[in-house]
Homo-oligomer: A and B are copies of this chain.
Amino acid sequence: MDTIKINPEFDGQFCKTTSLLDPEEFRRNGHMMVDFLADYFHNIEKYPVRSQVEPGYLERLLPDSAPIQPEPIEKILKDVRSDIFPGLTHWQSPNFFAYFPCSSSTAGILGEMLSAGLNVVGFSWIASPAATELESIVMDWLGKLINLPKTYLFSGGGGGVMQGTTCEVMLCTIVAARDKMLEKFGRENIDKLVVYASDQTHFSFQKAVKISGIKPENFRAIPTTKATEFSLNPESLRRAIQEDKKAGLIPLFLCTSIGTTSTTAVDPLKPLCEIAEEYGIWVHVDAAYAGSACICPEFQHFLDGVEHANSFSFNAHKWLFTTLDCCCLWLKDPSSLTKALSTNPEVLRNDATDSEQVVDYKDWQITLSRRFRSLKLWLVLKSYGVANLRNFIRSHIEMAKHFEELVAMDERFEIMAPRNFSLVCFRVSLLALEKKFNFVDETQVNEFNAKLLESIISSGNVYMTHTVVEGVYMIRFAVGAPLTDYPHIDMAWNVVRNHATMMLNA
């Protein structure tokens, strides 16, 4: 710690002054942090996947105000281990199968380190040209990789931007569509705007609609059924639109899903877009989780019809290994977005902007300041190469298939929805529970499966979560963590099976 020196008395007590960013102190402490994390990855399976703490645990461990004097990094890392670790749910554990993955990778973490180290703020091109230009280039790379129509790429007259999360993307595109529509119909009609989605669309969409000032009553969650595998039926959409038109309302926006949160259902883009086009409705395609799979040619057919939509997004941080956060949005007509979100204050005026030759990404999103996110996606693409990335995705899907087969072979269980990607939805079946406990209604089956899941999770060995679709409780098993391999799948299945056996024999 050669950069720490004793300073004159201050604030009534002696204190050491460190430099904020001494390169050698950074080097020393940085190496310690790298080793700390490498050790964490080595040991990650030793921790319960889902944290076992009780609410308020940390307040009992930490002091109630910030320390006056500095603490060395050694002490801080010790505190991370003793105080923070017990409260972590380990999303990077190979035994994490909950929610959807939020997968990191060596390259993703390195990209985040680089971004944090450079710490530039790329709101305008001039504020750090590389931040803007690399983002535009990488968005074109990624668009090509998932075979997005050329019209979505900068090289085809469209363009892409990296935001934090799908929630932001939804809000931005709704606002773009809203302002375009109100320009035509007059602002006083904001309460007549109607937005559409299926009842399986991510709940963030409804929240984004609410934030945008659109009347909450004008949000239509169109019911789906098992008959269409929980995808949005185009005819249901048409009926809903026609009713709203009849009532004098203005259909505005449709959010479609490629891979819904509950069961990875896929909406049929082509017929949905055709209907939307008839009525002049903006279509956004949300492929938050499943979009990453489309780097493999065999999954790109799920995007058929996207050429008729207006905007498309997915989260590279979910299943393309960039670490949180990195949501990629493409638009065929970026000007509709920038028209709604542009600002041109004097404090940011500069020749490059005035020349209109550059992208200023602040006008493509809600926030002004923005991190250099493209570095991590660039590092991921370069470090692994497309071929490996496809391998990773395919191996996750193969492992999910393997799990699905294990479930299917056990007659006490049933698969509850088609496995389109790497998510398996299953439960102990009504039949098995009828045989054993004379259960006859779904509520009892739901309760049994909910208890089964809690029993599985509480073991600490594995984490999965649940959903309820059409009143049916299902356990969700999502593969995608960066360290997961076949033994983890087998172990997870054994945990499920053993807990089920225990409960069935109770």
Contact = CB atoms under 8 A, between A and B. Distances in A.
A106 B29 contact: yes
A497 B31 CA distance: 42
A124 B315 CA distance: 19
B68 A386 contact: yes
Interface residues on A, range: 35 or more
A150 to B, nearest CB: 12
A277 to B, nearest CB: 25
Interface in A380-403: 381-388, 390-392
Given A55-B358, A129-B89, A385-B15, A114 B37 contact: yes
Contact of A213 (B37, B42, B214, B262): B214
A451 interface: no
Interface string A121-138: 100011111110110010
Contacts of A76: 379, 382-383
Interface in A107-148: 108-110, 112-114, 116-121, 125-131, 133-134, 137, 140-142, 144-145
A304 to B, nearest CB: 22
Interface string A185-226: 001101100000000000110111011111110000000000
Contacts of A505: none
A465 B126 CA distance: 11
A438 B33 CA distance: 61
A392 B89 contact: no
Contact of A321 (B20, B50, B171): B20
| Most B-side CB within 10 Å, residue of A16, A21, A349 | A21
Contacts of A104: 21, 116-117, 119
B11 A23 contact: no
A116 to B, nearest CB: 4
Contacts of A212: 211-213
B118 A92 contact: yes
Interface stretch (A58-66, A238-246, A405-413): A58-66
B388 A70 contact: yes
Nearest to A92: B119
Contact of A118 (B88, B167, B384): B88
A388 B17 contact: yes
A371 interface: yes
B215 A323 contact: no
Nearest to A352: B55
Contacts of A116: 104, 108-109, 112-113, 116, 323
Contact of A467 (B18, B69, B188, B347): B347
Given A89-B127, A120-B90, A384 B27 contact: no
| Most B-side CB within 10 Å, residue of A165, A214, A358 | A165
A68 B387 contact: yes
A158 interface: no
A198 to B, nearest CB: 14
Contacts of A34: 26-27, 30-31, 33-34, 113
